[in-house]
Homo-oligomer: A and B are copies of this chain.
Amino acid sequence: MNIRFYNARILSMEEGTGIEEGEVWVKGPYIVYRGPGRPSDTVWDREIDVKGNVLMPGFKNAHTHSAMTFLRSYADDMPLLDWLNKQVFPMEAKLTSEDMYHLSKLAVMEYLTSGITANFDMYMDPVSVAEASADCGFRTVLCGAMNNFSQSLEKEEQWYKELNDHHELVSFCFGAHAEYTTSRELLEGLSELAHKYKAPVYLHNSETKEEVEQCIGRYNRTPTALLAELGIYDHGGGGYHCVYMTGEDMDIFREKGLYAVTNPGSNTKLASGIAPVKQMIERGIPVAIGTDGPASNNCLDMFREMFLVTGLAKLKESDAAAVDADEVLKMAVVNGAHAMGLHDCDVLSEGKYADLTVLDLHQPNMQPLNNITKNIVYSGSKQNVVLTMVNGRILYENGVFHIGEEPEDVYARANEIIERIR
């Protein structure tokens, strides 16, 4: 498809640019032009009047567990350990791969309503999640979730080879669930894989105080120090959550160029704590943003996460100037893409993949137009998302999904699954 967006306020997110008025041209999966209107010989399949609204790169959800949609609102308002042991784990044990496929589609739909164009996903069966994304036309980076109870080094290596050559929208990254669920032997094996393929590794890291204390009890070092010592981070990667980080942990992240993915909605709802986002940024650590899974958040909405990132930093630092809106937007778009190894859909420029969203400014929450970036971060909402495009295809427009399946069928299946395994 050849698609011309005109009459747009373009927020390309390219370093040093602000809002530019003009056009963006898409051919196949690529952006082929960004700039002022000019003549073209192209025969357009569609010419879309953006009506002065914002056209920007899609948000990147840099940590989630998409298939956990079935547990949304199933067991909230409970202490964390009861929630995990009495509700989450027993229910997860009943899921089939087919269930995970359908449940992931429900999450993809929600990402699209929030202008999200890619997810960094960790779950029991990454192949099902990959298939759901590919079938919807959505971009997904899968992360290994190996631990003492599921997946294995062999599986990780197999997926690394197969899923990175599986579909243009799918890639795979080495990972483990977390230090506290994974033996030293498995972590050492993961380090060998990272070295063998010169590849980055991601894990849940320092999400709770107890996790860090227990690791210190076991190894006399923090999770970050241990993982670094084992060589797991020698080719990059990073941590999900990163709530309890020591100064030494942050030094390791900076020195090794690791990404910290913050998950403020989940950390808030599970009472885990507030990540030191301002301090990480000041130390030069690239911070990205994830929703975490729908069982712990419970929504998959980058607008909520963006407000929380800056709001919680302001609370934590007692400083209303901490972590400003431009910084947050960069985290939600560019840093997220880079954390996921996606360097071809991070900004809106010629040659990049057309992964983008249109945000409606003709809504009361986006008026007046004092500062559009701040409007997006501080008062933006899913209500403002009028179009989401991935890889040059419009997957969501004016409330209608184009993912190859009827929404009501996806909802019905999710309800059937929870009824069956409840």
Contact = CB atoms under 8 A, between A and B. Distances in A.
Given A271-B315, A320-B78, A368-B418, A382 B381 contact: yes
Contact of A314 (B271, B320, B380): B271
A264 B242 CA distance: 24
A345 to B, nearest CB: 22
Interface stretch (A161-169, A245-253, A294-302, A349-357): A294-302
Contacts of A367: 69, 72, 106, 410-411, 414-415
Given A300-B365, A311-B269, A418 B370 contact: yes
List 4 tightest A-B contacts by C-beta distance, closest first. A299-B379, A73-B374, A268-B311, A110-B364
Interface string A97-116: 00000000011011001000
A74 B379 CA distance: 12
Given A79-B321, A110-B365, A364-B407, A74 B381 contact: no
A74 B375 CA distance: 9
A312 interface: yes
Contacts of A77: 310, 320-321, 324-325, 374
Contacts of A300: 365
Contact of A378 (B267, B269, B372, B380): B269
Interface string A187-230: 00000000000000000000000000000000000000000000
A314 B271 CA distance: 5
Interface in A70-100: 70-74, 76-80, 83
Given A77-B320, A274-B315, 10 more contacts: A73-B375, A77-B310, A269-B310, A269-B320, A271-B318, A271-B319, A299-B380, A300-B365, A304-B304, A364-B411
A43 interface: no
A17 interface: no
29 contacts: A69-B367, A69-B368, A73-B372, A73-B374, A73-B379, A74-B371, A76-B325, A77-B374, A80-B320, A83-B320, A110-B364, A113-B365, A268-B311, A269-B320, A270-B320, A271-B317, A273-B315, A294-B379, A297-B379, A298-B375, A298-B378, A299-B381, A301-B381, A304-B307, A365-B382, A367-B414, A368-B417, A368-B418, A370-B418
Q: What's the number of copies of this chain in the assembled complex?
A: 2
A184 interface: no
Nearest to A76: B374
> How many of chain A's residues touch chain B, expressed as a range?
35 or more
A150 to B, nearest CB: 24
A289 B117 CA distance: 34
Contacts of A83: 320
A283 interface: no
Contacts of A79: 319-321
B76 A324 contact: yes
Contacts of A106: 364, 367-368
A319 B379 CA distance: 28
A368 B71 CA distance: 8
A408 interface: yes
Interface string A282-299: 000000000000100111
Nearest to A301: B381
Nearest to A413: B368
